[in-house]
């Protein structure tokens, strides 16, 4: 009997079933439909072999029994095509004609069953060749191929809606199945359909439904991928859920504390897994997320976890000296999608870590709206960089001794698609937060270099251009080499470049900055310390950093004219800075009286709206040309 291939296929399918059932499952729609398809495939393989045995020994069987067995196998073939069609429908529940297609496919399956059982069937057995033929078989091939072709058509038509991995895997299976069906239709002795079915299920399993892909190997819990997929399905089905994020991430700054957390991980996992009415997931590092179907279960779980950390575990051993941070999303409807809910959890957690705030944070609509606003600005930044809508404006800086404009500060602006300007105070904080400030800073530097090269600035009396460096750029190990490469690319005289730095908080960042500064100074670039008088700026920082210019920020300049104490502080700072051989720029000068007084007390350079607001490149050149050397 020619059942070797069917037997091998059956063994493969049973192994797949074993692997599916032995692991934790999410029991999402895709998993359920995959298991349904797998059971249909096993049923089909069993009746494939049973029909071969029945044909070989048909003289011992009543005719109606033989026909029932063989036709049941044929029905299972069509049912397999229908099951795959239904499996694909998971991603197409929201299309306009989804309901019509579902009813049509069920009707097609019913018609196929009736025809297969009603139409006559014949049998062939000669040596190792065993197969069925006749109208019933022809109807089977027609309906099976219709389901396969319909499935492939839907995958192509709705390719943007279908999970790409699912589309690829199902396409491979359908392709193998269709080729096997066509071969078997024209050569009945080659019983390939059953084995092609097994191979297709293997492809689906390893590409899409392998439970191992949803497991965290360290803890045995479901991982973040499984959480995101489950959340997506709950959003698609309109199901309510709540999330609780318990994180110990802030303690990873200390290697010793990190080791303590790892040593108690088994007990943590055991406790978390026992929390009632919760699905627990292990995310990156030491993050655990609990998913609940109602808010009461979430509140009880939060109380349990807090009580355990504050009570029993707090005094148990030094290893349990861990105080987690808690982030709660009570109602998933606050977020528009699983991805947004995921990101909101991370944003709120990161804020707590930065603030060392270990209180429970309940995500509310205001937080969601703030996050969406930042996401919108982040998109504007990305599009502006991609579409070359990042512009550099220049604010003139007046040299008191030369009595003319001698430099300018390069300031970034984003041009909206409608021609308006997006204020830097709106997008700079977002760019610093999401890391796009690195690319944005590089664009500004390139454009400033182009500006210097394309215009003979010395004819205008301009000796250098000031360009800001963000703290994130200062922490970049490759900053110096990248900027030198840009200057070489545009053949810029490095003496035209003055980079403005601000204080960096960490020693590591400061050391990186010093190495970058030393390399750039050797190349010919000079540096300024920006925003002196704002935040933690101090004279020790000036001593440590190889800067040539100190910039008094607007707040310090204005305070000098409005507060008596500020006048003494600024005067003392000015004397010490100038005695060190450094120059001073006062920013934020807005009136003629302020300008004249600062010039009288010996401030070297003056910048502010008294002279001009930041101007586009052409307007800046026209402004400087019109001044021809400022005379008060």
Confidence (pTM): 0.68
Q: What is the mean pLDDT of residues 267-294?
A: 88
pLDDT band at residue 6 using 50, 70 and 90 as cut-offs: confident
Give the DSSP letter of residue 361: E
* Residue 416 φ/ψ, nearest 5 degrees: -70, 165
Same domain? For 141 and 225 the reply is: no
Q: What is the mean pLDDT of the chain?
A: 84
Query: Residues 207, 220: one domain?
Result: no
| Residue 627: how many other CB atoms lie within 10 Å | 17
pLDDT attached to residue 630: 39
Three-state SS for 603?
coil
297 lies in a domain? Answer: yes
Q: What is the pLDDT of residue 254?
A: 45
In angstroms, the CA 538 to CA 163 distance is 56
Helices (H), 119-240: 135-157, 164-186, 193-204, 224-237
Residue 568 counted as domain residue: no
Whether 231 maps to a domain, the answer reads: yes
Instruction: Locate 355 and state its tokens.
Output: 């603030």
CB 604 within 8 A of CB 625: no
Q: What is the pLDDT of residue 320?
A: 46
- Give me 550's structure tokens: 């100190």
Write out the residue range of the structural domain in which residue 248 sits: 215-363
> Taking the CA atoms of the chain, what radius of gyration do you get in angstroms?
36
pLDDT at 539 over 80: no
Half-sphere exposure of 444 (CA within 13 A, CB side): 27
Residue 380 included in any domain: no
The answer to whether position 194 is within a domain reads yes
Angle, alpha carbons 558-563-569 (nearest 5°): 85
pLDDT at 484: 96
Instruction: Burial-class residue 296 by CB neighbours within 10 Å (0-12, 13-18, 19+).
Output: exposed
Worst-scoring range by mean pLDDT, 14-23, 220-229, 289-298, 499-508? Answer: 499-508
Q: What pLDDT score does 222 carry?
A: 84
Which residue's entry shows tokens 């089909």? Answer: 44
Residue 417 has pLDDT above 90, yes or no: yes
Domain with residue 125: its CATH number is 1.20.1070.10
For 438-473, the DSSP string reads: HHHHHHHHHHHHHHHHHS-GGGGT--EEEEE--HHH
pLDDT of 430 over the 90 cut: yes
Do 244 and 119 share a domain, yes or no?
no
Percentage of the chain exceeding pLDDT 70: 88
- Residue 9 placed within a domain: yes
Same domain, 192 and 266: no
**For the chain, how many structural domains are there in total?**
3
Q: Determine, yes or no, domain membership for 478.
A: yes
Q: Is 189 helix (H, G, I), strand (E, B) or coil?
A: coil
Say if residue 430 is in the same domain as residue 539.
yes
Mean pLDDT of 593-613: 94
pLDDT, residue 253, reads: 45
Same domain, 442 and 455: yes
pLDDT for position 318: 42
Neighbour count for residue 560 (Cβ, 10 Å):
23
Per-residue confidence (pLDDT) for residue 631, from 0 to 100: 40
Q: Please state, in angstroms and rounded to a whole number, the distance separating the CA atoms of residues 379 and 600.
A: 47
Contact 460, 621 (CB under 8 A): yes
The CATH number that applies at residue 222 is 3.30.70.270
Residues in a beta bridge with 39? none
What integer pLDDT is reported at residue 534 of this predicted model?
Answer: 63
Looking at the fold, whether 172 and 67 belong to one and the same domain comes out as yes
pLDDT at 377 over 80: yes
Q: Which residues pair with 292 in a beta bridge?
A: 242
H-helix segments, 96-134: 98-118
> So what's the pLDDT on residue 583?
94
* End residue of a domain, out of 193, 212, 231: 212
As a whole number of angstroms, the distance between CA 45 and CA 55 comes to 16
Q: Is the pLDDT of residue 624 over 90?
A: yes
Lowest mean pLDDT among 175-184, 250-259, 301-310: 250-259
Distance separating alpha carbons of residues 89 and 87, to the nearest angstrom = 5
Question: Looking at the predicted structure, is the pLDDT value of residue 602 above 50?
Answer: yes
At residue 508, the pLDDT reads: 61
More confident of the two residues 26 and 446 = 446
Domain match, 183 and 227 both: no
Q: Are residues 250 and 108 part of one domain?
A: no
CA distance 512 to 517: 9
Average pLDDT of the segment spanning 280-289:
85
Phi and psi (nearest 5°) for 440? -60, -45
Asked whether 385 and 437 are in contact (CB, 8 A), the reply is no
| Alpha-carbon distance values, 94 to 149, 154, 347 (Å) | 21, 13, 30
Q: The domain spanning residue 456 has which CATH number?
A: 3.20.20.450
Report residue 96: phi and psi, to 5°.
-60, -45
Helices (H), ranges, 187-217: 193-204
Contact 83, 37 (CB under 8 A): yes
**Does residue 533 form part of some domain?**
yes
User: Which domain-ending residue is among 187, 212, 237?
Assistant: 212
185 band by pLDDT with thresholds 50, 70 and 90 = low
Residues 358, 290 within the same domain: yes
Of all residues in the chain, the percent with pLDDT exceeding 90 is 42
- Tell me, yes or no, whether 126 and 26 share the same domain: yes
pLDDT of residue 426: 93
DSSP three-state, residue 290: strand
The helix (run of H) or strand (run of E) holding residue 327 is strand 325-329
> Is-contact 242 330, C-beta < 8 A?
yes
N-term to C-term CA, the chain: 108
Q: pLDDT (tens digit, 9 = 90+) per residue, 546-595?
A: 999 999 989 889 999 988 888 888 888 889 888 899 999 999 999 999 99
Q: Which of 260-269, 490-499, 513-522 has the lowest mean pLDDT?
A: 260-269
Which residues, at least 6 apart from 235, have a Cβ–Cβ distance to it below 8 Å?
332, 337, 338
Find the range with the poorest average confidence among 224-238, 277-291, 340-354. Answer: 340-354
Average pLDDT over residues 488-493: 95
Q: How confident is the model at residue 323 (pLDDT cuts 50, 70, 90)?
A: low
Which of 153, 183, 212 delimits the end of a domain? 212
Q: Are residues 270 and 283 in the same domain?
A: yes
């Amino acid at each position: 009997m020619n059942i070797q291939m069917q037997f091998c296929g059956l063994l493969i399918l049973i192994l797949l079933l074993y692997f599916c059932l032995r692991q934790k499952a999410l029991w999402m729609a895709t998993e359920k439909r995959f298991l349904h398809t797998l059971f249909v495939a096993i049923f089909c393989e069993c009746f494939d072999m049973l029909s071969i045995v029945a044909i070989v020994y048909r003289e011992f069987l009543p005719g109606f029994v033989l026909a029932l067995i063989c036709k049941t196998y044929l029905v299972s073939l069509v049912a397999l095509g229908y099951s795959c069609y239904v499996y694909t429908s998971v991603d197409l529940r929201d299309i306009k004609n989804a309901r019509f297609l579902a009813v049509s496919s069920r009707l097609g399956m019913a018609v196929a069953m009736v025809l297969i059982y009603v139409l006559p069937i014949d049998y062939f057995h000669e040596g190792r060749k065993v197969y069925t033929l006749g109208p019933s078989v022809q109807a089977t091939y027609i309906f099976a191929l219709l389901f396969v072709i319909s499935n492939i058509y839907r995958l192509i038509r709705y390719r943007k809606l279908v999970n790409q991995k699912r589309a690829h895997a199902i396409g491979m299976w359908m392709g193998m199945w269709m080729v096997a069906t066509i071969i078997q239709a024209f050569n009945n002795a080659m019983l390939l359909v059953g084995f092609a079915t097994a191979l297709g299920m293997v492809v689906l399993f390893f590409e899409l439904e392998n439970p191992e892909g949803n497991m965290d190997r360290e803890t045995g819990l479901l991982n973040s991928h499984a959480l995101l997929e489950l959340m997506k399905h709950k959003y698609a089905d309109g199901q309510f859920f709540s999330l609780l994020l318990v994180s110990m991430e802030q303690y990873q700054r200390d290697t010793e504390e990190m080791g303590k957390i790892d040593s108690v991980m088994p007990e943590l996992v055991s406790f978390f897994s026992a929390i009632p009415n919760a699905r627990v997931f292990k995310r990156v590092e030491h993050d655990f997320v609990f998913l609940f179907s109602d808010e009461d279960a979430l509140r009880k779980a939060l109380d349990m976890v807090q009580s355990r950390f504050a009570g029993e575990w707090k005094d148990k051993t030094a290893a349990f000296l861990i105080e987690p941070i808690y982030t709660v999303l009570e109602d998933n409807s606050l977020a528009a999608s699983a991805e947004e809910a995921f990101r909101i959890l991370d944003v709120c957690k990161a804020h707590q870590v930065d603030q060392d705030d270990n209180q429970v944070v309940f995500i509310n609509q205001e937080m969601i709206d703030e996050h969406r606003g930042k996401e919108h600005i982040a998109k504007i930044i990305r599009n502006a960089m991609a579409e070359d809508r990042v512009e550099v404006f220049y604010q003139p800086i007046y040299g008191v001794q030369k009595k003319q404009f001698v430099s300018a500060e390069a300031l970034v602006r984003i041009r909206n698609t409608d021609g308006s300007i997006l204020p830097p105070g709106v997008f700079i904080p977002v760019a610093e937060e999401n890391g796009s400030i690195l690319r944005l800073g590089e664009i500004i530097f390139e454009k400033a270099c182009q500006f210097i090269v394309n215009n003979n600035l010395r004819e205008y009396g301009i000796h250098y251009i000031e360009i800001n460096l963000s703290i994130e750029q200062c922490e970049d190990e490759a900053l110096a080499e990248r900027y030198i490469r840009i200057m070489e690319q545009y053949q810029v005289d490095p003496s035209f470049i003055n980079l403005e730095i601000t204080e960096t908080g960490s020693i590591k960042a400061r050391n990186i900055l010093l190495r970058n500064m030393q390399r750039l100074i050797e190349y010919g670039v000079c540096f300024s310390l920006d925003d002196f008088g704002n935040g933690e700026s101090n004279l020790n920082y000036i001593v440590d950093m190889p800067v040539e210019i100190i910039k008094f920020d607007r707040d310090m300049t204005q305070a000098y004219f409005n507060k008596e104490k500020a006048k003494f502080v600024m005067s003392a700072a000015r004397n010490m800075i100038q005695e060190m051989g450094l120059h001073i720029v006062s920013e934020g000068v807005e009136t003629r009286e302020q300008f004249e007084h600062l010039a009288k007390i010996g401030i070297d350079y003056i910048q502010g709206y008294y002279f001009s607001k930041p101007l586009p490149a052409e307007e800046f050149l026209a402004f400087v040309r019109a001044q021809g050397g400022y005379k008060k």
